[in-house]
Amino acid sequence: MDKLVIEGGMPLEGEVRISGAKNATLPLMASTLLAAGTHVIENAPRLRDIRTMRNLLGHMGASCEHNDVLVIDTSDIHTLEAPYDLVKTMRASVLVLGPMVARYRRARVSLPGGCAIGARPINLHLKGLEQMGVDIDLEHGYVIARAGRLKGACISFDLVTVTGTENLMMAATLAEGITVLKNAAREPEVVALAEYLCSMGARIEGAGTSEITIEGVKDLSPGRVSVIPDRIEAGTYLVAAGITGGHLKLTSCRPDHLEAVINKLHMAGLPIEAGEGTLEVQRTDRIRSVNVKTWPFPAFPTDMQAQFMALMALSDGVSLITEQIFENRFMHVLELKRLGADIELEGRSAVVRGVRKLSGAPVMATDLRASASLVLGGLAAHGITEISRIYHLDRGYEAMEKKLSAVGARIWREGNGA
């Protein structure tokens, strides 16, 4: 299995182009099931998860070509199933459920099972589909869904769920009548999906607010869309500049998607300048300790919690980092402690006492954002850090070691490409 090797201590200097957002691309790919024909998705990142979604759509009968742009033709869907061996590697596969049952009236989708950061149930997805008239059975680890034409419904989410909002919004586009989603997710990726669905002929209002109204139509037509920049990748590189005492300019990014993160980094003493599609950050003095609580957009994103913790490990005081979205998203703590971080867990909070320096060590990635936090720690640590199981990193960061090397990091990949 591949590992990343980092010789830390190099301040990063230069420009980084931010790639298209993984969590925007995946629902856009699933939405192609709603309209037979050729869909064109520009600025799609080259990531393991995108390949997994291509394999899933291919299994169902779509043709997927990813050259300059990602072209998906869903004219010949013949298999209405998302098998366990694909779903278990990527929970976002569940996003094909809503489109499949809305357009083809039936679906057989493997339950995703848990993952490193939590149980990750999909009960709210299923409850909403049942309210729209879908018969749901659970058999042998699969969701078996059958329906006539879906009926519009008023669906109120007990919890804010990003893919739950996306799944039901997609299903509602072809339902009969009006669907209202209350307590809906407000993430930029949800807005981007709604915009594409509208360009396909859907009637959606309120995306980006906590109440989304969808008026069902008879059918949709394929279209063309460009993926929004990845706000979590951008946040990760902002932290990379801060933790190495460097100076980075991020291009092709959306500062308006990162306000909560920029605010916290400002409070930590990192001056960040937002331009037209750019963010510039130059560390001037020691990082200040800041408390953070994760919460749905527009609050501080859970997907930046691990990266921010790496930064706080080198702050001038004590920070309290509280993870309020997932029940087990502290897998990176034990690995950061191997690099010399002083962190204690107390329930859903981590108490991070800043230290003067980290020292390189062999560590192990456990999930996507945990692996990013270990890269950040390794970039700042004195000496060599080796990060194993970096297939986790490859799921969500396009060519990370190339982007980092281009701005002065001493980082390389070792292994047989697995």
Residue of the chain from 12, 122, 168, 411 that contacts ligand EPZ (CB under 6 A): 122
The single-letter DSSP state of residue 383 is S
- Check if the beta carbon of residue 69 is closer than 8 Å to that of residue 42: yes
Instruction: Please report whether residue 56 would count as binding ligand EPZ according to CB under 6 A.
Output: no
Other Cβ atoms closer than 10 A to 121: 14
Question: Which member of 115, 154, 198, 253 is catalytic?
Answer: 115
User: Cis ω on the peptide bond leading into residue 271 (within 30° of 0)?
Assistant: no
Instruction: Please report whether residue 161 would count as binding ligand EPZ according to CB under 6 A.
Output: yes
Q: Which of these ranges, 39-47, 98-106, 114-122, 176-184, lies near ligand EPZ under the rule CB under 6 A?
A: 114-122
| Contacts (CB under 6 A) with ligand EPZ, residues 289-328 | 302-303, 325-326
Our CB check for ligand EPZ shows the closer of 18 and 325 to be 325
- Report the nearest approach of ligand EPZ to the CB of residue 394 (Å): 13
- Report the nearest approach of ligand EPZ to the CB of residue 183 (Å): 11
- Report the nearest approach of ligand EPZ to the CB of residue 223 (Å): 21
Residue of the chain from 6, 87, 129, 162 that contacts ligand EPZ (CB under 6 A): 162
Q: Which of these ranges, 159-167, 206-214, 382-390, 408-416, lies near ligand EPZ under the rule CB under 6 A?
A: 159-167
| Contacts (CB under 6 A) with ligand EPZ, residues 2-41 | 22-23, 26
Residue of the chain from 39, 264, 283, 369 that contacts ligand EPZ (CB under 6 A): 369
Instruction: Please report whether residue 121 would count as binding ligand EPZ according to CB under 6 A.
Output: yes
Strand partners, 195: none
**Burial track 207-227 (b if 16+ CB lie within 10 A, e otherwise):** bbeeebbbebeeebebbebbb
Structure tokens at 409: 């990091």
Our CB check for ligand EPZ shows the closer of 8 and 235 to be 235
Our CB check for ligand EPZ shows the closer of 11 and 27 to be 27
Environment class of residue 129 by beta-carbon count within 10 Å: exposed (0-12), middle (13-18) or buried (19+)? buried
SS3 of 291, please?
A: coil
- Report the nearest approach of ligand EPZ to the CB of residue 72 (Å): 17
At what angle are helices 22-31 and 48-60 packed, to 10 degrees? 10
Structure tokens at 59: 């299994």
Place of tokens 């949709």: 220
**Distance between CA atoms of residues 387 and 5, nearest Å:** 6
Let me know if 115 is a catalytic residue.
Answer: yes
Q: How many CA atoms does the CB half-sphere of 6 hold within 13 Å?
A: 36
Our CB check for ligand EPZ shows the closer of 160 and 279 to be 160
Instruction: Please report whether residue 51 would count as binding ligand EPZ according to CB under 6 A.
Output: no
- Report the nearest approach of ligand EPZ to the CB of residue 367 (Å): 7
Our CB check for ligand EPZ shows the closer of 340 and 396 to be 396
**Total number of residues that touch ligand EPZ (CB under 6 A):** 25
β-pairing, 203-205 vs 211-215, is: antiparallel
What's the order of all strands across the beta sheet hosting 362-364? 362-364, 384-388, 3-7, 410-414
| Contacts (CB under 6 A) with ligand EPZ, residues 127-146 | none
**Distance between CA atoms of residues 74 and 221, nearest Å:** 11
Our CB check for ligand EPZ shows the closer of 176 and 195 to be 195
Structure tokens at 124: 């709210």
Residues with catalytic annotation?
A: 115
Residues forming contacts to ligand EPZ in the complex (CB under 6 A) are 22-23, 26, 91-92, 118-125, 159, 161-164, 302-303, 325-326, 368-369, 396
